[in-house]
Amino acid sequence: MDLAFLIKGVIIGFSIAAPVGPIGVLCIRRTLAEGRLSGFLSGIGVATADAAYGMIAGFGLTSISNFLIGQQIWLRLMGGLFLGYLGIKTFKIKPSDEIISSNKHGLIGNYFSTFILTITNPMTIISFVAVFAGLGIGTIQTNYYSSLVLVIGVFFGSGLWWLTLSTIIDVLGKRFNTKGLIWVNKVSGIIVLIFGLIALASIWGRNFI
């Protein structure tokens, strides 16, 4: 395995995942309310989507990437509406309800919710196309083995960030009581809802440019 490409992939995956946006807020809240595993699996949903987009960019699948970029409006619409739904749901939920939810299907739901949010964010594929193009990956001369190693590194790099974040928040979260978790839910819900409204507003702005 090409160690240099693996290390590059880890750095790329970690760097793209690290900025704290709406998914980071969800990961933090879920870690505080449901535990480190819940927050970590939310992050793995992101890492899976990052790896999928990394594979598209790394293997030079320009027809797919161009199609996804061309569907920015619909992707933003789906992502914005889903963020709005999660924001309202998070704002209204109580800590006792979260225990019941996590016992039923919370972990699987957390994974797929962040996967969907990441896969419907057109900036994700644009970021990978730009970064990989700068590294000379995804061209006709691409070595597919090197691209695969790079994508594996992206997955582990992104996963490493979410493991780090969920572990830190889990340690700090032991100080939170039920009242504190209620406020975490309300603040997190408002933040996520705002991100959703911003995503929807960006569609409106594009239509009037």
pLDDT in tens, 18-29: 877 788 888 888
Task: State residue 157's pLDDT score.
Answer: 93
Q: Which helix (H) or strand (E) holds 190?
A: helix 178-207
Averaged pLDDT, 108-114:
86
99 CB neighbour count, 10 Å cutoff: 12
Task: State residue 140's pLDDT score.
Answer: 46
Token digits of residue 190: 């408002």
Token digits of residue 19: 């900025």
| pTM score of the predicted model | 0.72
Token digits of residue 112: 């797929």
Q: How many domains does the structure of the chain reveal? A: 1
Task: Kindly report, residue by residue over 127-174, the tens digit of the pLDDT.
Answer: 777 776 666 665 545 567 777 888 899 899 999 999 999 998 888 876
Three-state DSSP class for residue 156 = helix
Domain that holds residue 180: 3-207
d(Cα 98, Cα 94) in Å, to the nearest integer? 6
Which of 66-73's residues contact partners 24+ apart within 8 Å by CB, and which partners?
Answer: 68/122, 68/125, 69/122, 69/125, 69/126, 69/129, 71/122, 72/122, 72/206, 73/203, 73/206, 73/207
Place of tokens 């995942």: 17
Task: State residue 104's pLDDT score.
Answer: 46
d(Cα 113, Cα 129) in Å, to the nearest integer? 24
